[in-house]
Amino acid sequence: MAAWNELIIRSLRDGAIIQEGTRTGKLYNASRRLTAVAAGANIDSIFTTGALPVYLFQRDIGRSGLGVSSSIFRGATYTGGTLDPVYSVNDITGDGSLSTIQLRVGVTLTTTGEQTIATNYAIGNTSNQGQGGIAELKQPLYMLPNSNYLLRITSLDTQAQDITANIAWYEGYL
């Protein structure tokens, strides 16, 4: 019964944050699609927060093959990369350019930093029906202002596979 009550409380909290963030223009999202990701390869993105804390509440990772893992590290250092688009979920208040987040892809890592939450795994099986799927990672993370975070997805397949990622966050104090 306690687990059920916790799910209700979490749903109410997240629903209130999503509604408030959408209404006030403080809710944003981003997504990626990569094809033919090599077996065992890492897909790294750098998520740099601005002056406000960030509540990262949604990470959905799709895969066409046997599996992926997803980790987040705080304090990563990197060079290069290009900015990936960020989108607002409120067309009335503006677009993703209002976000203080910089999301970089194609970076070269110097250090990964310190792992901040447990690694999540999405694993299928070798049958055709067991491959592919979407992992909805429900572990939220309240991120520090003015910090770099490494969002890492690792292919667990022995063959190349397609991988998608979708994240959503709220900017500001809760």
- 16: which residues sit within 8 A by CB, 6+ positions away? none
Residue 4 has pLDDT above 90, yes or no: no
Return the bridge partners of 167, or none: 30, 59
How far is Cα of residue 29 from the mean position of the Cα atoms in its chain? 9
Q: Is 41 helix (H, G, I), strand (E, B) or coil?
A: coil
Domain extent at residue 153: 2-171
Please tell me the predicted confidence (pLDDT) of residue 135: 81
Which burial class, exposed, middle or buried, applies to 65 when counting CB atoms under 10 A from its CB (0-12, 13-18, 19+)? buried
Which burial class, exposed, middle or buried, applies to 16 when counting CB atoms under 10 A from its CB (0-12, 13-18, 19+)? exposed
How confident is the model over 132-169, as pLDDT tens digits? 888 888 788 999 999 999 999 999 999 999 999 999 99
| Count of domains observed in the chain | 1
CATH code of 114's domain: 2.60.120.680
How many beta carbons lie within 10 A of that of residue 161, not counting itself? 24
The predicted model gives 54-77 an average pLDDT of 94
